[in-house]
Amino acid sequence: MSYKNKKIKTIFIGTPDFAVPSLKALVKDDYFDVAGVITQPDKPVGRKQILTPPPVKVEAEKYRIPVFQPQRISNFKFQISNIDLIVVAAYAQLIPKEILSIPQYGCINVHGSLLPKYRGAAVIQAPILSGDKQTGITIIKMDAGLDTGPILSQAKIKIQQTDNAGSLYDKLSVIGAGLLIKILKKYINGEIKPMPQDEKKASYVGVLKKKDGKINWPKPAEEIERFVRAMTPWPSAFSEIGCRMSDVGNCLMLKIIEAEHEPIRINKYKIGELFLYGDKLAVQCGTDALIIKKLQLAGKKAMNGEEFLRGHNDFMGSILK
């Protein structure tokens, strides 16, 4: 059967903003009939814990597409029959074999790294942390493993020195949507043969937690600068300031939002010490130092280094923990 002969009845599975461009591309393409969307349940968000729908649900409701929100997809019973295709993007749960076997063309995943490198969760942050020069999108036909299915296609992009996890997230979500539509049509028409991944090159990354943003100042400045970009905007790179030996609980949280890419070749201060470098705010790392361009003290608005110096000059000489 060719997709030219009928619309491809499709189920979309995804949750965050990353998945929205792919869903939108499928909905707007006449070759596909998005018959339903599966996403995570609404969750409480923010200090007031307001129950908030996931971005994919919000997008699906614009087109009046039925939305299903099971706690566990492994317990989900399909209410839509004769499915041709399932597309998955950033759903955060393994799809069970029972669902993988339902559609005629299988389940296709939009993955935010160049597989087989960086299987798992924090795949957008991982190449920044590792100092990779490029990253990209991989379209795979899913199997029962975690991101182990055969590859249909890939698209590569260069990681810019100014890129953080947020900017790459946005770029890759758009690239993924474009590649998805192009490749799906070729795959459905039998023009693409899925290619097995090279298991010898596989690596895995876990789920990021809030505590993972804690900066380890004894590391080289170059690594810490990459860490700051990888943790931005979430969970954010942070340290503690104003700590007293007699009162550990008195520490204030300090987020480092942006640092100069090039380290300063200075190694005369204590590790973690804030100091003036000309008229700029700098911090000593295990090797070399970093100029802090943007930061945020707990309970305050984000500010650049110069603003921080004007309002918090008493912190000069403090040791970040």
Mind listing the pLDDT tens digit for each residue in 109-121?
999 999 999 999 9
Residue 278 lies in a domain: yes
Q: Is the predicted pLDDT of residue 73 greater than 90, yes or no? A: yes
Asked if 131 and 236 sit in the same domain, the reply is no
- The tokens for 143 are 């199997």
Among the residue ranges 46-55, 126-135, 249-258, the one predicted with the least confidence is: 249-258
Residue 247 lies in a domain: yes
Asked if 186 and 261 sit in the same domain, the reply is no
Instruction: Give percent of the chain with pLDDT exceeding 70.
Output: 97
Higher pLDDT, 137 or 242: 137
Asked if 181 and 280 sit in the same domain, the reply is no
**Per-residue CA distances from 320 to 86, 116, 238, 261, 272 (Å):** 48, 37, 10, 20, 5
pLDDT of residue 47: 82
Asked if 170 and 258 sit in the same domain, the reply is no
Residue 1 lies in a domain: no
Q: What is the DSSP letter of 270?
A: P
pLDDT of residue 4: 52
Residue 2 lies in a domain: no
- The tokens for 299 are 């309970």
Among the listed residues 253, 218, 260, 217, the one whose alpha carbon sits nearest the alpha carbon of residue 236: 253
DSSP-assigned letters across all residues of 38-57: E-PPPEEETTTTEEE--HHH
Residue 57 lies in domain: 8-205
Rounded to the nearest 10 degrees, the angle between the axes of helix 55-62 and helix 20-28 is 20
pLDDT of residue 77: 87
Band of residue 246 on the pLDDT scale cut at 50, 70, 90: very low
Asked if 281 and 262 sit in the same domain, the reply is yes
Asked if 133 and 72 sit in the same domain, the reply is yes
Asked if 117 and 153 sit in the same domain, the reply is yes
Asked if 96 and 239 sit in the same domain, the reply is no
pLDDT of residue 308: 92
Asked if 122 and 69 sit in the same domain, the reply is yes
pLDDT of residue 84: 97
Single-letter amino acid code for the residue at 90: A
CA separation for the pair 227, 240 (Å, rounded) = 16
Domain final position from 205, 237, 255:
205
- 194-203: pLDDT as tens digits: 999 999 999 9
Instruction: With beta carbons less than 8 A apart as the criterion, state whether 65 and 34 touch.
Output: yes
Residue 138 lies in a domain: yes
- Furthest-apart CA atoms within the chain: distance in Å: 75
Domain final position from 205, 239, 258:
205
Mean of the per-residue pLDDT values of the chain: 94
pTM above 0.85, yes or no: yes
CA separation for the pair 10, 24 (Å, rounded) = 13
Asked if 151 and 17 sit in the same domain, the reply is yes
Instruction: With beta carbons less than 8 A apart as the criterion, state whether 81 and 98 touch.
Output: no
Asked if 186 and 227 sit in the same domain, the reply is no
Band of residue 249 on the pLDDT scale cut at 50, 70, 90: low
Instruction: With beta carbons less than 8 A apart as the criterion, state whether 12 and 87 touch.
Output: yes
Residue 300 lies in a domain: yes
Domain final position from 170, 205, 240:
205
Q: In total, how many domains does the chain have? A: 2
CA separation for the pair 170, 180 (Å, rounded) = 16
Asked if 181 and 236 sit in the same domain, the reply is no
Higher pLDDT, 312 or 262: 262
What CATH number did the domain enclosing 220 receive?
3.10.25.10
Among the listed residues 122, 48, 137, the one whose alpha carbon sits nearest the alpha carbon of residue 92: 122
3-class DSSP string for 74-102:
HHCCCCCCCCCEEEEECCCCCCCHHHHCC
Q: What is the DSSP letter of 124?
A: T
Residue 14 lies in a domain: yes
Residue 3 lies in a domain: no
What CATH number did the domain enclosing 65 receive?
3.40.50.170
